[in-house]
Chains A and B, each alone.
Chain A
Amino acid sequence: MASTGIESAERRFWRALWDRLRVPTWVSYALLAVTVAVNASLQPFFFTLYNIQSNLNTFVPLVAAAVGQTLVILGGGIDLSLGAIITLVDVVVVTLMEGSMERVPMALLAGLAVGGAAGLINGLLVAYVRLQPIVATFATSFVWSGLALWVMPRPGGAVPRAFYRGYRDVFLGVPVAAWIILGIILLWLIIKRHRITRYILAVGGDERAAYASGVPVTKAKVMSYLLGGLFAGLAGLGIVANTASGDPYVGGPITLQSITAVVIGGTRLSGGAGGAGGSIAGAMILSLIGNIVFFANVGSHYQELINGAIVVLALALAGIPALRRRSA
């Protein structure tokens, strides 16, 4: 294990406190609060049920994708095919639904299965065939995209109205989308307590030390991608519910957005440290930035530029804790 060795005891203590309090994660929560405040100030009727609901509806896919990407990155890898998996799941689910409510449960399960299978294949390529994660998942992204186009060459498909309406409904006074996001958070908290997550963290932190300690390295890596794929499946279901149609091009931007969300959330890209809590906040921040740009009446030519600039700002702010670590 490489330890800096030249650090004074005092420095070490402060750094430990910083890490233990999970400062990077709290920074992302603070950023989220700031983003909400800015958005609220720019957008009239921000705190109405309708608006909150429509925001949450759009959050769901990216939140799920961010959690999936977090697991892969924690294990020391990365999944550049996440968006493509989401696309594939989207078209498969919509195709299977055929506009009928009876077929919905089957279609949803099939979607998750597709996500899991894609994740599994990514994991096998990285862990057994030993391909570099960036290379492997970049390649598979074309495979999933290609399959999506084959399943549904043009956007369309029929999603049953009841399903679409149900997603936009309110349950016990709380929007359905909010329940779903709560569910995702709960899933993450459960996964955190499982042995496999500790193994994933160990492998991402120091693969050699993990191997020497008896951690099943290969299995941990495969599982991180498999779980990533399952969450991508969940994200795909969210897209179906949100857009009520199939679109073989829908997942494109989501991959990089999921990685951005993870970074804003404070998880180290090198792996081994961080958590999905920050990533979920990061996902929401990214979505809200889009709103902010829109409501700030920035000319449509500049929207993408401003959006990008704000994202860079968010990344920089989120990255300050890491800077302090490096100078130690």
Chain B
Amino acid sequence: MAYLSMSGVHKRFGGVVALNGAHLAAEKGEVHALLGANGSGKSTLSKVLTGVVAPDQGRIEIDGREVRISGPEDARRYRIAAVYQELSLIPQLTGMENILLAYEPTRALGFIDRRTLEQSVLEVAARFEQALGRRIDLHRPVESLSPGDQQLIEAYKAVARKPEILILDEATASLRQAEVEALFQVVRELRDAGVLIIFISHRLHEVFDLCDRATVLRNGQTVGTVNLAEVTERDLVDMMVGRGVVTDVRQEAATPPRDEVVLRVKGLTGPRLHGVSFELRAGEVLGLGGLQGQGQSELLRALFGAEPVTGGEIEVAGRRVTLRRPQDAMRHGLALVPGNRAREGLMLGRPILENLTIASMRRRQTGPGFLSPRREREAAQGAVRSLEIKVGDLSDAASTLSGGNQQKVVVGKWLLNRPRIILMDDPTKGVDVGAKGELYKIIRQLTQEGVSVILNSSENMELLGLSHRVLVMYEGTIVDVLEGEDLNENRLVASAMRVAQPA
């Protein structure tokens, strides 16, 4: 009987099924990896364990007893701690104050015992510092530390709580090699002391370095559990994607792109981009693949002038341009359907009509700064018709629309400005199946008219189905270009995870 057993876990977020009967069995004193492609459910499963997400169904047993985990207090009771990529540190408090936050040793009447606190924190820090070879200043507000150090403090925090189950969810993303090594050393010590560590990562080389066993999830279900000494990276990729299946889901009658190059990017560099170069032709759908957070969103935003750029060149239709603000990008015929629809794509409290017309008002103005209500209304109605947006009344607030229709409004807003290139950052996230299909139709129609699309998608099948080519990104650079028969899921996932291709 396993020490930790999660079985039959189901979780649905709105119309999206994240977990569909997943299970996990792990033992004390092991480092157990949780693997899967984007959207496989592994993060959700770990959040169920820490109480951040409440499952629709499922049973969790620790040491043979069934447990209910409905929030951080329960996780605390069962001695479960986690290190997420999204930090839980209080920015203006120091490392010393953050590490044992809510676990401070106290004297009578609740006054903090500073001496014991410092001692305990320094003990934890010492474990890491040995391997790290340096000290992190624990008396500075953590917001003044580098992202890598902040992530380490988050790790100190989890370890200081003396957990019996420790979850590391993409905890190594902002760490440099030496820091990763230090973290792993502490993890190994914990494992030897009997702690169960659940390690979630996309970096397969780290998984093989650190972990004993691995459980693979796919589409919200558990594919299997393996002993890492007995498998190869390829085996894992096959499990994550489907054994050796070459899936080719490109729709028939996808119009090939024209020859004209509308966008040329050379050596684009910024805080999260390191020398991105590619060309985009008219009527082409260029997909951005790779694991989430490897620079895809940043690339799209940089092309829209919404993200700082420190180097490189951008040419639109043969002309060199500098895109410092979205208005510059708009002037050159670019449009961005942003990843955060509610915050950056729509003015939720304003009428649908305004949301549709706002980006193109200058085209329809009747005099300097004057608008004609009739023209505005006609433009909005036109967009509603051509995109088949289901609205009650154009004067209803945009917040009344469903996710899919909201996204159509965002697209419609930009189409009214007649862009040459549309940048789309995960456009079908949180959109129901019906609206998704309609958005795909719209994208295909646009390409037939010669409009180009650069598409970032967290769904592999969607990316493969829509794109003519896919640029696979890793840590801010393009590491692979997939087209033709390379445009399949197996290749995509393997490239994303930097797994060597078979000869």
Contact = CB atoms under 8 A, between A and B. Distances in A.
A273 interface: yes
B90 A209 contact: yes
By secondary structure, the A interface counts as: helix
B72 to A, nearest CB: 5
A114 interface: no
A2 B111 CA distance: 30
Given A12-B145, A12-B146, A214-B103, A201 B111 contact: no
A216 B73 CA distance: 9
Given A6-B308, A194-B112, A213 B88 contact: yes
Contact of B91 (A1, A193, A194, A198): A1
Interface stretch (B135-143, B384-392, B393-401, B450-458): B135-143
A12 B98 CA distance: 18
B110 A196 contact: yes
Nearest to B101: A213
Contacts, number: 98
Given A1-B86, A195-B104, 19 more contacts: A1-B150, A3-B143, A9-B146, A16-B141, A19-B92, A19-B141, A19-B144, A20-B139, A194-B111, A194-B112, A195-B112, A199-B102, A202-B90, A205-B91, A212-B52, A213-B98, A215-B101, A272-B92, A273-B92
A195 B98 CA distance: 13
Nearest to B146: A9
Interface in B92-133: 92-93, 97-98, 101-104, 106, 109-112, 114
B97 A3 contact: no
A130 interface: no
Interface of B: 52, 72-73, 76, 86-93, 97-98, 101-104, 106, 109-112, 114, 139-141, 143-147, 150, 157, 271, 308
Nearest to B84: A212
Kindly state the interface size class of chain A when it binds its partner.
Answer: 20 to 34
A202 B146 contact: no
26 contacts: A1-B88, A3-B143, A5-B147, A12-B145, A15-B144, A19-B144, A20-B141, A193-B114, A194-B110, A194-B111, A194-B112, A195-B110, A196-B110, A198-B93, A198-B97, A201-B93, A205-B92, A206-B91, A210-B90, A210-B101, A213-B157, A214-B102, A215-B101, A215-B102, A216-B102, A272-B90
A211 interface: yes
Contacts of B86: 1
4 A-B pairs with the lowest CB-CB distances in the bound complex, closest first: A16-B144, A214-B102, A212-B88, A205-B90
Contacts of B157: 213
A47 interface: no
A187 to B, nearest CB: 13
A198 B109 CA distance: 15
A213 B112 CA distance: 17
Contacts of B88: 1, 208-209, 212-213
A201 B93 CA distance: 8
A273 B157 CA distance: 21
B140 A20 contact: yes
A255 B87 CA distance: 36
A198 B92 CA distance: 11
Contacts of B271: 5-6
Nearest to A203: B90
Nearest to A20: B140
Contact of A214 (B76, B109, B140, B144): B76
Contacts of A210: 90, 101
Contacts of A211: 72
A209 B89 CA distance: 6
A203 to B, nearest CB: 9
A172 B35 CA distance: 73
A16 B106 CA distance: 28
Given A16-B140, A16-B144, A193-B112, A1 B89 contact: yes
Nearest to B76: A214
Contacts of B308: 6
A251 to B, nearest CB: 31
A209 B93 CA distance: 12
Contacts of A194: 109-112
A19 to B, nearest CB: 5
Given A211-B72, A214-B76, A198 B146 contact: no
Given A193-B111, A212-B52, A214-B72, A1 B101 contact: no
B143 A198 contact: no
A205 B146 contact: no
Most chain A CB within a 10 A radius of its CB, from B90, B106, B271: B90
A212 B89 CA distance: 9
A12 B144 contact: yes
A189 to B, nearest CB: 11
A4 to B, nearest CB: 8
B147 A1 contact: no
A14 to B, nearest CB: 9
A209 B97 CA distance: 13
A196 to B, nearest CB: 7
A195 B100 CA distance: 11
A13 B111 contact: no
Most chain B CB within a 10 A radius of its CB, from A213, A215, A273: A213
A209 B87 contact: yes
A1 B52 contact: no
A12 B148 CA distance: 13
Interface string A262-273: 000000000011
B84 to A, nearest CB: 8
Interface in A212-232: 212-216
A15 to B, nearest CB: 6
B470 to A, nearest CB: 27
A168 B219 CA distance: 77
A12 to B, nearest CB: 5
A215 B90 CA distance: 11
Contacts of B111: 193-195
Nearest to A196: B110
Nearest to A214: B102
B162 to A, nearest CB: 14
Contacts of B109: 194
A202 B157 CA distance: 15
Contacts of A20: 139-141
B72 A212 contact: yes
Given A1-B91, A3-B91, A211-B72, A202 B145 contact: no
Contact of A198 (B112, B140, B144): B112
Contacts of A212: 52, 72, 88
Nearest to B137: A16
Contacts of A6: 271, 308
Most chain A CB within a 10 A radius of its CB, from B88, B144, B147: B144
Most chain B CB within a 10 A radius of its CB, from A196, A214, A216, A272: A214
Contacts of A272: 90-92
B102 A213 contact: yes
Nearest to A13: B144
A237 to B, nearest CB: 24
A213 B154 CA distance: 10
Nearest to B104: A195
Interface string A167-202: 000000000000000000000000001111011011
